A and B are shown apart, each in its own frame.
Chain A
Amino acid sequence: MGKRSFVPLFWTLFSVGGVVAAFLIPIHLFLFGLAFPLGWIQPPTYERLLALARLPLVRLYLFVLCSLPLFHWAHRFRYTLYDGLQVKHLNELIILGTYGGAIVGTLVAGYLLWSL
């Protein structure tokens, strides 16, 4: 390989992020969006959830859950802008906005989970 391109890295994050978004996020949406508020399942108390979220493995899980789908969004939105709006000439700006946005979102998620 001549010049090192980072496309494979972002594609991998996109790909793995798609799997996470498709398989794991619906579970959370179902639990916290429907089952708990509608009383289908008895929700755990706030204290129990907080204690659970503070476990290192759960923190790591939540970090992956927040970060990877953002990279999935970034890659897909980048190509949606290219092909849908045909603004490939704004390449640098789009890359900054999409992958940059995902990186910022990842940092924010990391900070929030760290400071739980």
Chain B
Amino acid sequence: MADKITLEVARYDPERHTEPTFEKYEVPFRKDWVILDALNYIKDRLDGSLSYRWSCRTGICGSCGMMVDGEPKLTCATFLSSYAPGPVRVEALRNFPIVRDLVIEMTDFMVKLKKVKPWIVRENEKPISQGEYLQTPEQLENYKQFSMCINCLLCYAACPVYGLDNLFTGPAAIALAQRYNLDSRDVGARERREILSDHEGIWGCTFVGECTEVCPKHVDPAGAIQQYKVDAAIDWFKSFLLPRGAK
């Protein structure tokens, strides 16, 4: 087994470059290393100017998403050994502007996320003295899968529709909207529908399904979007047949 592997890392400094260029680094090839370990090695030993985001190293924080050999991956959960003998190409997540090197600008997602109100909406909060909002295991199961999303944005990097037209609300934001719509404690579905049934909300999706393929937490955003389309279509027919009754 070779004891070194080459990483081709995208470097980009908006003040000096017009587009990213690749720089090669030789790092130790260790079976127990993930791509993030190799990047940390570069940063610590070879080139301190390399910029990238990471935090937890355990696939929970969602900060270390990057393109690894052209595929969106969490670099903390992607082993170097899967790419032996190399070289391995590491780039910033596709479909987003780059701040520097491997760091993307994610304001677009943050704005969209907030728009779909990813929190529990209630008409009336009951006083604390009346206790918690109880939920059965079945009610929890309804939305639990969609609550696993860690906002890592791999699904946005994988989505060709978002790549062509970033007006599209996108996979994670819709899956998270659905996470709250399906929560028995929530009454915000109608407010969210105003945003999501817009042409660029759910209808932009052409069910490519890549979002679900790349999701490291098995959230199935593509499923959430199709499910939401059915709900929105039923709602549309109701409002068409009973304009007042559906409100």
Bound form: Cα–Cα A43–B236 in Å = 44
Cβ-neighbour of A83 out of B161, B194, B235 (below 8 A) = B161
Q: Mark B156-170, 1 if CB is under 8 A from A, else 0.
A: 000011001100000
Q: Which of B160, B193, B197 is most buried by chain A, counting CB atoms within 10 A of its CB?
A: B197
Smallest CB separation, A50 vs chain B (Å): 36
A48-102, CB < 8 A from B: 79, 83, 86, 88
The count of residues in chain B whose C-beta lies closer than 8 Å to any C-beta of chain A is 20
With an 8 A cutoff between CB atoms, is A41 at the interface?
Answer: no
Q: Which of B197, B199, B206, B230 is most buried by chain A, counting CB atoms within 10 A of its CB?
A: B206
Bound form: Cα–Cα A42–B240 in Å = 48
A1-48, CB < 8 A from B: 1-2, 4-5, 7-9, 11-12, 15
A8 touches B164 (CB 8 A): no
Bound form: Cα–Cα A86–B165 in Å = 10
The count of residues in chain A whose C-beta lies closer than 8 Å to any C-beta of chain B is 14
Cβ-neighbour of B229 out of A2, A9, A11, A88 (below 8 A) = A11
A5 touches B160 (CB 8 A): no
B232 touches A79 (CB 8 A): no
Q: Mark B217-235, 1 if CB is under 8 A from A, else 0.
A: 0000000000001101101
B206 touches A83 (CB 8 A): yes
Cβ-neighbour of A88 out of B165, B197, B235 (below 8 A) = B165
